[in-house]
Amino acid sequence: MDFRLSPDDEALVAATRDYARRVLAPAADRFESFTTADEFPWDLMEEGTALGLRALPLDPELGGRGADMVLQAIVAAELAAGDVGAAYFFRHYWRFARLIPRLPSRVRDLVVTGITTDDRFVPASASTEEGAGSDNALPYDAPGHGAMLAARQVDGGDWVLDGTKTMITNGGIASLYFVLGRTDPGRGIRTGATMFAVPAQTPGVHVGPLYRKLGQRGSPQADVTFSECRVPADFAVSAVGEGYASAERGLVAANVTNAALSLGVAEAAYEEALDWSIDRVQGGVPIHRHQLVAHDLGWMRSHLDAARSFLLQAAWRYSHDQPFDPGWSWGVRVFCADAAIEVTRRAMLLFGGRGMMAGYRVEKLVRDALTLTHGNGTSAILTARLGTHQADARIAARAAGSGGRPSPEAATSETRAELAAQVAAGLTAAVTAEVHHG
């Protein structure tokens, strides 16, 4: 594995780091305080847009850079070290850029034109519902469970959507929602859901107030209701019944960059703690000279290095392994989120009472870190999926008579069918390993 970047990519990383430190980090109060979509700090995103960060993974012929996952992960970490909400803003575009080869032509044109020419174009994914969070993420594959927003086809082939999605990232500022709807409620979510592209100005789309959150306050979230919302037939962006597979492909990639966001937050907290330990004098010496402080600094650095190594390997595999084993994405997201929580906690403690005071950056970073365990499924759910995934591979190896330890891609369809049957008994679902890069 070669993680080295080209000179041009190194220059982009350096420019992103400068932008994050000079523009994003000092604007913490603005990211923390806006309460309506109209107050979203668009001006703070302008320099990042000019750097090409929104179009980072798009093919060059479409106006992007064609960045692989390694470059995306490194850039995401640099942005998150400035502000994790702003990092989510740019990272969200990358998620939908990967869908472009699979999109119907009208939707593809909307997305490509929006990303490359419209500074106010924002995509959003709408899957979570009041009764469907972990049931989407596992998934619990049974009728009546998972996303149940109704999608029915009417005369002329158009689709009509009815239902509410909750806690939708970019809710209120989004131009285009990618909505997971249940087209066959008599089937489980794996085969009973379809993905639709719904422009925000479509009649019947209603956005609720922004949520007030512990952290990630620069990333707006709101409930979005679709009431008799009619969309054209060719705005179904997956085949009928294949919406879950489409969503899962995007989530596998997003887990890797979510891990990068966690690393960026943790790195920022470590830098704050390191500088503080040099400047703060207690007991007659800078506090880094005290053994307990030195121990914590060493612990943080070693765990950050381990997290970065895990992240780079997962990112490289995403871009180069065929097919990519999704277990890498689940594992790295959980590991880096856990590392962020512990690193920011230790950093906060080194500040003493100041660590919990608003106005000290480390306090914000602790809050941001605590919110990073819920992206694309909770850390507990993703860890459970990883464990089941490994068991799936071992069962497949035994069935094949190899007795060895093949990669999880070797799991047979029969093995998956057996595991799907276990879901009905209340056990954790296995996920297919055949995830394409998309």
The tokens of 86 are what?
């702003």
The tokens of 388 are what?
């089941």
Q: Would residue 52 be called left, alpha or beta, if left means φ above 0 and alpha means ψ between -120 and 50 degrees?
A: left
Q: What is the pLDDT of residue 417?
A: 44
- Tally Cβ neighbours within 10 Å of residue 114: 19
Total residues found in the chain within this entry: 438
Q: Which residues in the chain land under pLDDT 70? A: 402-438
pTM, two decimal places: 0.91
3-12 contacts at long range (C-beta below 8 A, 24 or more positions apart): 3/70, 3/312, 3/316, 5/70, 5/71, 5/74, 9/67, 9/71, 12/51, 12/52, 12/65, 12/71, 12/75
Q: What is the pLDDT of residue 156?
A: 85
Assess contact for 122 and 167: CB atoms under 8 A.
no
Q: What is the rounded CA–CA span in Å between residue 312 and residue 75?
A: 12
Q: What is the rounded CA–CA span in Å between residue 274 and residue 193?
A: 49
- Tally Cβ neighbours within 10 Å of residue 44: 21
Q: Residues 395-408: pLDDT tens digits?
A: 999 998 865 555 55
Q: Residues 121-169: pLDDT tens digits?
A: 999 999 999 999 999 998 999 999 999 999 999 988 999 999 999 999 9
| Domains annotated on the chain, with CATH | 7-117 (1.10.540.10), 123-241 (2.40.110.10)
Q: What is the pLDDT of residue 98?
A: 84
**DSSP strand pairing (281-282 vs 285-286):** antiparallel
129-136 contacts at long range (C-beta below 8 A, 24 or more positions apart): 129/163, 129/164, 129/165, 129/166, 130/164, 130/166, 134/377, 134/378, 134/381, 135/189, 136/180, 136/189, 136/247, 136/377
Q: Which of 245, 149, 240, 190 lies closest to 429, judged by CA?
A: 190
6: Cβ contacts below 8 Å, ≥ 6 apart: none
Q: Would residue 34 be called left, alpha or beta, if left means φ above 0 and alpha means ψ between -120 and 50 degrees?
A: beta
Q: What is the pLDDT of residue 406?
A: 52
Q: What is the pLDDT of residue 326?
A: 94
| Residue at token pair 């519902």 | 129
Q: What is the rounded CA–CA span in Å between residue 300 and residue 369?
A: 14
